[in-house]
């Protein structure tokens, strides 16, 4: 998720630090329901390593992270945290922290090295995930499994450019999902189809900052391709939900949905109707793009149709019927959230491939008030009230139980191991955001079921390499030693206290 740093836009407005709400709100340790579930989250490419082990095929991230000149800070994840070889140690660590849940992703190219529906399945890859899932169950940790977290098999990109061929990708993804449901569904009761389709569409196929690196400089059609990618994801998700509900859920009794990321947007000038409208429209373009189609079973939001015109694909009547039929079978809203931004409506003509509805976003408003204190990444600010407002926005629009599937931050100075372990900034961030969840549950009446911290351990943060550290466990990337940070113990203890307080 740290690729969002590349979207940060500076402002010339003088910051008035003392006026920012994020500097003054105390952590109150507010209660949470006794059945509220907490855990951690990771992604396969970011932690597994084992790039050439166990019959794994290459993914687009194996290729992208080795490009020259480097587009990933000169770093790759061939070893990363070596979770592939240290999986038992990592599950023991989770158990020590009293986690209820572990959300992780499956490497498609570890399970089907070439990726396609006619390609061979890799039993060594299946065995690795079998061991992980069995160890989790043995330790009473619920496995929550993401099918796709950005690491498309390279062979599928070479064959038909991946997401840009909707029919081919959809067929191959359905096959991959079927293999996973068949082999792991007896123990996995919560599935996620895609992680952050917005990022896949925009960052990987318009800005080019993530694999496979599509951008206008590479001669690709950034006016239409990101929207085609989103279209492919929506239809592939619906098809896999249909598959699961019809063939697997009756026996396995599990649930399935998707994870959407999103900031909350405040108007840059709260007295300017154009900025007020821009903040709402930015939410629609960011979240409604996928949320309205997937959770409401509708066509794309009107605001998107009006602004994008022919750049936005159309659904056939049969596809719209599929969306309507599967919308009610999404069991929860998976929310990845990190921060809040201000939205400002621009008046200059937009670029031909503009994806924001000509809206600028940043951390400071027209009065010079900062949205919150900055973490180690300038775009990620401590803004718990924005988080609560986003929970309200999503609940009002979709009326689905919410699971916070990612939330966290990096701290300044974590290159020093002692600073990293004594991570008071991160502890306060967690405390404030958990308080916001409590208020949303008990004061706003929102059904929120769980919270998964990003991330279990420091890992490979995509294009940013090993710079920003989001883990609650410190990893020495030379020795691979794991050391829990104080935030890990804080989360263990605060969940004990908060759940007891509700009894």
Tokens at residue 112, please? 């089907």
Tokens at residue 152, please? 């498309």
**What number of helices (H) and strands (E) belong to the chain?**
18, 13
Alpha carbon distance 149, 108 (integer Å): 9
Strand 340-345 with 359-362, pairing: antiparallel
Catalytic residue among 48, 319, 406, 461, which?
Answer: 406
Alpha carbon distance 356, 358 (integer Å): 5
- Residue identified by tokens 């003088």 is 14
Q: Is 260 helix (H, G, I), strand (E, B) or coil?
A: strand
Active site residue 196: yes
First vs last Cα of the chain: how many Å apart? Answer: 35
CA distances from 133 to 141, 448, 485 (A): 9, 25, 25
- In DSSP notation, 52-92 reads TSTTPPPBHHHHHTT-SS-SSTT---SSTT-HHHHHHHHHH
Catalytic residue among 142, 155, 168, 196, which?
Answer: 196
Q: Which residues of 443-471 are buried (b: 16+ CB within 10 A; e: fewer)?
A: eeebebebbbbbbbbbbbbbbbbbbbbbb
Tokens at residue 139, please? 């330790």
Alpha carbon distance 76, 451 (integer Å): 29
Q: How many CB atoms lie within 10 A of CB 234?
A: 25
Note whether 425 and 375 are within 8 A (CB): yes
- Residue identified by tokens 């149709």 is 305
Active site residue 168: no
Annotated catalytic sites, by residue? Answer: 196, 406
């Amino acid at each position: 998720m740290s690729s969002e740093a590349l979207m940060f836009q500076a402002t010339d407005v003088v910051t008035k630090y003392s006026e920012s709400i994020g500097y003054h709100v105390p952590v109150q340790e507010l209660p949470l329901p006794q059945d509220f579930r907490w855990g951690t989250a990771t992604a396969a490419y970011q932690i597994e390593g084992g790039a050439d082990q166990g019959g794994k095929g290459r993914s687009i991230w194996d290729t992208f992270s080795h490009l020259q000149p480097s587009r990933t800070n000169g770093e790759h994840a061939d070893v990363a945290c070596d979770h592939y070889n240290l999986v038992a140690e990592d599950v023991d660590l989770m158990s020590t922290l009293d986690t209820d849940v572990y959300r992780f992703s499956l490497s498609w190219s570890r399970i089907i090295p070439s990726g396609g529906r006619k390609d061979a399945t890799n039993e060594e890859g299946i065995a690795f995930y079998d061991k992980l899932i069995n160890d989790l169950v043995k330790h009473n940790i619920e496995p929550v499994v993401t099918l796709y977290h950005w690491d498309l098999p390279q062979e599928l990109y070479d064959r038909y450019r991946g997401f840009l061929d909707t029919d081919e990708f959809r067929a191959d993804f359905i096959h991959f999902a079927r293999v996973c449901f068949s082999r792991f569904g007896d123990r996995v009761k919560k599935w996620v189809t895609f992680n952050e389709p917005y990022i896949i569409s925009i960052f990987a196929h318009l800005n080019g900052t993530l694999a496979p690196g599509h951008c206008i400089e590479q001669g690709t059609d950034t006016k239409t391709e990101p929207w085609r990618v989103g279209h492919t994801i929506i239809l592939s998700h619906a098809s896999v939900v249909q598959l699961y509900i019809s063939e697997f859920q009756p026996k396995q009794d599990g649930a399935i949905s998707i994870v959407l990321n999103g900031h909350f947007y405040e108007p840059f000038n709260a007295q300017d109707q154009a900025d007020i409208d821009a903040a709402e429209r930015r939410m629609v373009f960011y979240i409604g793009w996928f949320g309205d189609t997937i959770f409401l079973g509708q066509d794309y939001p009107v605001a998107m149709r009006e602004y994008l015109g022919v750049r936005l694909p159309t659904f056939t009547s049969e596809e719209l019927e599929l969306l309507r039929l599967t919308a009610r079978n999404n069991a929860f809203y998976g929310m990845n959230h990190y921060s809040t931004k201000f939205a400002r409506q621009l008046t200059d003509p937009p670029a031909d491939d503009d994806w924001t509805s000509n809206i600028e976003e940043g951390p400071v408003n027209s009065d010079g008030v900062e949205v919150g204190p900055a973490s180690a990444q300038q775009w990620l600010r401590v803004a718990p009230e924005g988080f609560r407002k986003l929970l309200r926005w999503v609940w009002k629009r979709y009326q689905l139980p919410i699971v916070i599937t990612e939330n966290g931050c990096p701290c300044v100075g974590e290159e020093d191991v002692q600073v990293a372990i004594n991570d008071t900034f991160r502890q306060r961030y967690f405390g404030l955001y958990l308080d916001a969840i409590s208020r949303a549950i008990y004061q706003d009446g929102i059904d929120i079921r769980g919270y998964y911290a990003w991330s279990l351990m420091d890992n490979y943060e995509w294009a940013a390499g090993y710079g920003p550290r989001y883990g609650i466990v410190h990893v020495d990337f030379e020795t691979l030693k794991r050391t829990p940070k104080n935030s890990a113990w804080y989360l263990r203890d605060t969940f004990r206290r908060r759940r007891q307080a509700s009894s």
